[in-house]
Amino acid sequence: MPRHVSTADATMDDAMSAKHSHTRQASILSMRRYYAKNRDKELQRFKEYYRKNKDRIRAYKKRVREQTKCDLKHQHDAATHSPTRRTSQLLHDILSPTQPPTTTHRHTPPPASAKFNLAFLLN
């Protein structure tokens, strides 16, 4: 069932969204004024924080760099051994005309099992 919205509800929604928008803009302008007025104080605060936590910040950056390198290496390794490559190798092994090495009990799978394996992989 579609809900019918009266014009009063629509104007109420518009008024609420306009009020929210105005409040948000006022908040942004207030923050801009604060930082413009106190730019030097904030800059000094930031410098003090950095000086105090320099070793921790550098250690964090180093950890992030090493983690990124490790992740890229693992992604590269995963790309070289992708599932599609493994699947194509498996299909090649199943459908290759070469005979498997003979064993003492001479158990060879029937050709239907290769078709079943292929159908299973493709579905």
Interval 33-88: pLDDT, tens: 998 898 899 899 999 999 999 999 999 999 999 999 998 888 877 666 656 666 67
List the helix and strand counts (H, then E) for the chain.
5, 0
Q: How far is 116 from 123, CA to CA, in rounded Å?
A: 11
Mean pLDDT of the chain: 76
Is 121:90 a contact under the CB 8 Å cutoff?
yes
Residue 65 lies in a domain: yes
| Lookup: tokens for 55 | 């070793």
Interval 4-14: pLDDT, tens: 556 666 677 78
User: In terms of pLDDT, which residue wins out, 31 or 82?
Assistant: 31
Residue 33 lies in a domain: yes
Q: How far is 77 from 80, CA to CA, in rounded Å?
A: 5
Residue 104 lies in a domain: no
- Split into its structural domains, the chain has a count of 1
Is 100:108 a contact under the CB 8 Å cutoff?
yes
Handedness of CA 70, 75, 76, 78 (dihedral sign): positive
- State CA 62 to chain mean position distance: 22
Q: Give the domain extent around 66.
A: 29-93+112-123
pLDDT at 106 over 70: no
Residue 18 lies in a domain: no
pLDDT at 1 over 50: no
Which band of pLDDT confidence, cut at 50, 70 and 90, is reported for residue 118?
low
Residue 12 lies in a domain: no
- pLDDT for position 102: 55
pLDDT at 101 over 60: no
Residue 19 lies in a domain: no
pLDDT at 18 over 60: yes
